[in-house]
Amino acid sequence: MYGITKSVDMQLALSPEHATIVPDATSMRDFLTLSLQAYWFAPPVALWRAVELRTAAQEEYPRPLLDLGCGDGLIAGLLFGPQGVDVGLDPWAEQVRRAARSGVYRWVQRADGGRMPYRDGTFAGVFSNSVLEHIPDVGPVLAEVKRVLKPGGRFFFTVPSDAFRRMLYYYRQRLDAGDEAGARAYADEVDTCLAHYHYHTPEEWADLLARAGLTLERARYYIPEPVEHLWDRMNHRFGVGRRSLWGLLVSPRLRPLGYQRILARWVISHFSRAWRPWYEMEVPEGGKGGGLLVVARKE
């Protein structure tokens, strides 16, 4: 354990104290097209990620920066670029291997977010994209984030919001038809499919963060209701999360046939135009969206 920590310390020593990552040119990037290029096989996923990235790109991230639950590094790569993040951490071995090959991180480790192998006050910033909703008890993770942050350090994370379930298109469809039980059953099915355990309001997040010794600075909704409606309908159309003809067509096993390159080009070209209005849509002032960006601070 000491060897791991020492190696991370040596890597982070190369990162200037108080440096920040400002997605300046990044904030002007076309995240819809970039996400479709990455997720052409699952266009609805690309739509959600594109709006999420456009929202996250409006923040400034202090270094050294930890990507908590980094996965394969794809999201951080789109947001921060090559070598844009100091450390990536994930509990899954295959994801860590992919993240290490991505070129996004200066150091990647396999570890649990509730037991991070870093000294107190190692990082000036922690970033976590669509991770906390998959953890039944976030308390230990929040406490660890607080521990590894420097005084004044910030924690940036995105999660589905308290409005996520009721903004699902097929939830609303059933509810409007008077089928409350069917609406709840549909939302429960989505939760199971996506492995979502909770949806907190900004006030609830403020309380959870406070228990861990962190202070909520701000929370911002994204994914307006029309965008979530489109996303939900497209999940059904493309059979995301279940067996479908589309799933067969985009299967990696059929890649040697060569047609998927043509299919990918069509998806990117068509949906980067067709979905542009939804990608650029903002949550009305005072309204709610299906996603929530939270920024917290260690005092």
The CATH number of the domain holding residue 14 is: 3.40.50.150
Question: Does residue 156 sit in the same domain as residue 116?
Answer: yes
Q: Which two tokens stand for residue 168?
A: 């699902």
Contact status, residue 82 vs residue 104, Cβ threshold 8 Å: yes
Q: Which two tokens stand for residue 166?
A: 């009721």
Is the pLDDT score of 6 beyond 50? no
Question: Does residue 134 sit in the same domain as residue 7?
Answer: yes
Contact status, residue 213 vs residue 143, Cβ threshold 8 Å: yes
CA-angle at 160, arms to 155 and 164, nearest 5°:
155
pTM of the model: 0.91
- For 27, 139, 173, 185, 186, the CA distances from 192, given in Å and listed in that order, are 33, 22, 20, 10, 10
Question: Does residue 124 sit in the same domain as residue 253?
Answer: no
* DSSP H stretches of helix in the chain: 2-12, 24-27, 31-38, 43-56, 74-80, 93-102, 139-148, 169-176, 180-194, 202-211, 225-238, 245-249, 259-274, 276-279
Question: Does residue 111 sit in the same domain as residue 135?
Answer: yes
Question: Does residue 92 sit in the same domain as residue 172?
Answer: no
Contact status, residue 84 vs residue 104, Cβ threshold 8 Å: yes
Give the model's pLDDT for residue 7: 54
**Torsion angle of the four alpha carbons 279, 67, 109, 10, in this order, in degrees rounded to the nearest 10:** 140
Q: Tens of pLDDT along 20-68?
A: 665 544 457 999 999 999 999 999 999 999 999 999 999 999 999 999 9
**Torsion angle of the four alpha carbons 112, 252, 37, 239, in this order, in degrees rounded to the nearest 10:** -90
Owning domain of residue 236: 24-52+227-281
Tokens 């994370």 identify what position? Answer: 157
Name the nearest CA neighbour of 30 among 198, 269, 214.
269
Task: Let me know if 134 is exposed, middle or buried by CB neighbors in 10 A (0-12, 13-18, 19+).
Answer: middle
Question: Does residue 244 sit in the same domain as residue 256?
Answer: yes
* N-terminal to C-terminal alpha carbon distance within the chain: 28
**Rounded Cα distance, 268 and 287, in Å:** 31
| Average per-residue pLDDT for the chain | 92
Question: Does residue 14 sit in the same domain as residue 68?
Answer: yes
61-62 and 20-21 strand pairing: antiparallel
Tokens 């990507």 identify what position? Answer: 67
Question: Does residue 237 sit in the same domain as residue 288?
Answer: no
Number of domains into which the chain is organized? 3
Q: Tens of pLDDT along 209-253?
A: 999 999 999 999 999 999 999 999 999 999 887 788 999 999 999
Question: Does residue 298 sit in the same domain as residue 262?
Answer: no
Give the model's pLDDT for residue 23: 58
Give exposure, 154-172, as e/b (b: 16+ Cβ within 10 Å).
bbbbbbbbbbbbbbbbbbb
Give the model's pLDDT for residue 10: 45
Question: Does residue 204 sit in the same domain as residue 262?
Answer: no
Angle formed by the axes of helices 202-211 and 139-148, to 10°? 60
